[in-house]
């Protein structure tokens, strides 16, 4: 086989796999339902006692940076309550929202979001540890998401952004009362929600401020999600061995920062593994089986018939089975998989209980119908051009 064709086939298989991955994640995002969060002031004793060690550690860390405790806050998202201790820097007008960490382990038990309110009404926010992968904010909210794993560096990065905006916006950060701070946070939530609706990124559902991603919004989320996963993987690979197994190669500053970073990355990955272990393993298994089935089927048909028809044949089979896959996803099938079968063709498998006859019929039709339509189109082109290529294409669905 021509080496260039082999490269082309490999590239095609890679793109098909990537396309399938992005498509399935997109479908999952489209099924998610979210709710606009609401912030309110509470008394410290209203927070569950199990979080007391968290606040003790957060207070020590933030006090060392010059912050002072301001008030306790509860954020409600649907049926879930999140708790925060809000701190303020007395000279720089910076707020720090401390909350129990989302990481199952690491160098500290809390996460921090730094924020500043500019005199022109704009909000500056700095988060860390990739805990916020979100759609774009409105233009009056400046949000940067870092991955430092080091609280002082996180704080300095926020100050740098504030100073940059002070120059470009000609606006300085201001202090405010507890009620004003809460009102600004709630207003920012509403503003971001309205902005995303106006941009067509999310779609409101009902009257309870429940929303879902639009088709465009879900597509825009795909790249940040895969980029974040890749960043986690890269940081772990490049820093874990150096920081944890060979610390003598690091300077004292690098040792602290990298050890914290690696610990946070490892803990964050552990969360992903705990929540998606079965799904993650399924992805790996399905990808391997799919690639192996494609390669074996291509070789089988190439040796039996002709290498020239292999790409076209595999493409037609894939489109046919992709129709079945879309139908299965529409009706809530689980563990779906497309497999190519040497000398036989291809098959789409999945699991679901209590499948109705109508659902089965739709799934069956979604496979051949696109091919039949394409066959009629190819046949019509053949009657006009008389080229044998289109005749062969027209016969394929049969």
Q: Is the dihedral of CA 379, 380, 381, 383 positive or negative?
A: positive
Tell how strand 68-77 and strand 95-100 pair up.
unpaired
pLDDT of residue 69: 93
Nearest Cα residue to 398 out of 368, 378, 355: 368
Task: Tell me 241's DSSP state.
Answer: I
Averaged pLDDT score across all residues of the chain:
77
Q: State how far the Cα of 378 lies from the Cα of 382, in Å rounded to an integer.
A: 6
The stretch 147-175 carries a mean pLDDT of: 85
Range in 211-215, 280-284, 331-335 the model is least confident about: 280-284
Tens digits of residue pLDDT in 277-321? 545 445 666 777 788 888 888 887 777 777 777 887 788 788 888
As beta bridge partners, residue 351 has 334
pLDDT of residue 169: 80
- 19: its two tokens: 């396309």
pLDDT at 254 over 50: no
Q: State how far the Cα of 153 lies from the Cα of 161, in Å rounded to an integer.
A: 12
Tens digits of residue pLDDT in 166-182? 888 888 888 888 888 88
Q: Is the dihedral of CA 267, 269, 272, 275 positive or negative?
A: negative
pLDDT at 154 over 50: yes
pLDDT of residue 253: 44
- 201 three-class SS: coil
Instruction: Provide CB contacts within 8 A for 262, sequence distance 6+.
Output: 149, 235, 236, 239, 240, 243, 244
Unique residue bearing structure tokens 């639009």: 214
pLDDT of residue 230: 65
Q: For residue 55, how far is the Cα from the chain centroid?
A: 29
Task: For residue 96, name the pLDDT band (cuts at 50, 70, 90).
Answer: very high
Rg over alpha carbons for the chain, rounded to the nearest Å, is 27
Q: State how far the Cα of 303 lies from the Cα of 309, in Å rounded to an integer.
A: 11
pLDDT of residue 294: 83
Task: For residue 383, name the pLDDT band (cuts at 50, 70, 90).
Answer: confident
Task: For residue 85, name the pLDDT band (cuts at 50, 70, 90).
Answer: very high
- 112 three-class SS: strand
Range in 83-87, 119-123, 143-147, 240-244 the model is least confident about: 240-244
Q: For residue 133, how far is the Cα from the chain centroid?
A: 7
Unique residue bearing structure tokens 């609401």: 38
E strand or H helix at 15: helix 3-31
Q: State how far the Cα of 109 lies from the Cα of 131, in Å rounded to an integer.
A: 14
Q: State how far the Cα of 162 lies from the Cα of 169, in Å rounded to an integer.
A: 10
Tens digits of residue pLDDT in 19-73? 767 777 788 788 878 778 888 989 988 998 888 988 999 999 999 999 999 999 9
- 361: its two tokens: 């019929």
pLDDT of residue 252: 46
Contact in structure between 90 and 66 (CB atoms under 8 Å): yes
Phi-psi region of 232 (alpha: psi -120 to 50; beta: other; left: phi over 0): alpha
Q: State how far the Cα of 120 lies from the Cα of 172, in Å rounded to an integer.
A: 8
Identify the burial level of 170 via C-beta atoms within 10 angstroms of its C-beta, where 0-12 means exposed, 13-18 middle and 19 or more buried.
Answer: exposed
As beta bridge partners, residue 134 has none
Is the pTM higher than 0.75? The answer reads: no
% of the chain at pLDDT higher than 90: 11
The stretch 253-269 carries a mean pLDDT of: 48
Q: What are phi and psi of 84, to 5 degrees?
A: -135, 150
């Amino acid at each position: 086989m021509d080496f260039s064709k082999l490269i082309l086939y490999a590239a095609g298989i890679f793109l098909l796999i990537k396309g399938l991955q992005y498509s399935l994640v997109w479908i999952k995002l489209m099924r998610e339902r979210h709710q606009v969060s609401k912030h309110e002031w509470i008394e410290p004793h209203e927070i569950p006692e199990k979080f007391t060690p968290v606040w003790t550690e957060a207070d020590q860390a933030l006090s060392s940076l010059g912050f002072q405790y301001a008030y306790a806050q509860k954020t409600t998202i649907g049926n879930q309550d999140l708790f925060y201790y809000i701190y303020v820097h007395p000279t720089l007008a910076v707020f720090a929202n401390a909350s129990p960490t989302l990481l199952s382990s690491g160098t500290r038990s809390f996460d921090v979001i730094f924020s500043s309110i500019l005199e022109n009404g704009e909000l500056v926010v700095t988060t860390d540890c990739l805990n916020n992968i979100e759609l774009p904010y409105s233009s009056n909210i400046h949000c940067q998401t870092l991955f430092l794993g080091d609280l002082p560096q996180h704080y300095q990065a926020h100050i740098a952004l504030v100073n940059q905006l002070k120059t470009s916006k000609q606006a300085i950060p201001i202090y405010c009362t507890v009620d004003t701070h809460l009102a600004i946070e709630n207003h920012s939530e509403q503003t971001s929600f309205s902005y995303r609706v106006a941009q067509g990124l999310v779609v409101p559902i009902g009257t309870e401020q429940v929303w879902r991603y639009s088709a465009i919004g879900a597509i825009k989320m795909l790249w940040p999600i895969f980029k974040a996963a890749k960043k986690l993987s890269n940081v772990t690979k490049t820093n874990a061995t150096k920081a944890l197994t060979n610390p003598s190669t690091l300077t004292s500053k690098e040792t602290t920062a990298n050890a914290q970073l690696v610990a946070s990355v490892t803990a964050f990955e552990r969360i992903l593994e705990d929540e998606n272990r079965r799904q993650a393993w399924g992805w790996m298994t399905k990808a391997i089986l799919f690639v192996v089935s494609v390669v074996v089927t291509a070789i089988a048909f190439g040796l039996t018939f002709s290498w020239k028809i292999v790409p076209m044949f595999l493409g037609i089979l894939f489109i046919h089975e992709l129709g079945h896959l879309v139908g299965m996803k529409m009706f809530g099938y689980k563990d779906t998989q497309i497999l190519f079968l040497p000398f036989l063709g291809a098959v789409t498998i999945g699991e679901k209980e209590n499948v109705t006859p109508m659902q089965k019929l739709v799934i069956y039709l979604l496979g051949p119908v696109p091919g039949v339509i394409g066959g009629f189109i190819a046949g019509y082109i053949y009657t006009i051009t008389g080229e044998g290529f289109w005749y062969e294409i027209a016969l394929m669905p049969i």
